[in-house]
Amino acid sequence: MNARSALGRFGETVAARRLTAAGMTVLERNWRCGRTGEIDIVARDGDVLVVCEVKTRRAGAFEQPMAAVTPQKAQRLRGLAERWIHAHGGAPPGGVRIDLVGVVVPNCGGPLVEHVRGVV
């Protein structure tokens, strides 16, 4: 595993802990759909299915994590959410929401985490 993928895995672990602390249930991590892509975290928030994109950056990086979700990325996330629902028996009663968790890892101290609900 290279440093970039290790940083990403660390961010996903931090994000999963944050979602769990917020009362969500993590159903799956790193769900892959062939060559279409990957959902970082699939969770349940009450009766809502949450597809969560996690972006992790080191402090001082040029791009902030929240800026990384482009319209193209949002479209891909919607498509992946549809595929996950199809593969797992249909949409839950509360529908589907796409969230973003941004994690910034400083040079010292704990990571800074921002969770934005319903980004796309």
42-55 per-position pLDDT tens digit: 999 999 999 999 99
pTM of structure: 0.90
Distance CA 58, CA 4 (A): 10
pLDDT at 104 over 80: yes
Encode pLDDT of 6-22 as tens digits. 888 999 999 999 999 99
CATH of the structural domain 3-116, one choice from 3.40.1350.10, 1.20.120.450, 3.40.640.10, 1.10.3720.10: 3.40.1350.10
Q: What's the pLDDT score for residue 102?
A: 92
Residue with tokens 């790193």: 30
Distance CA 65, CA 10 (A): 14
Q: Where are the domains of the chain?
A: 3-116
Distance CA 95, CA 23 (A): 17
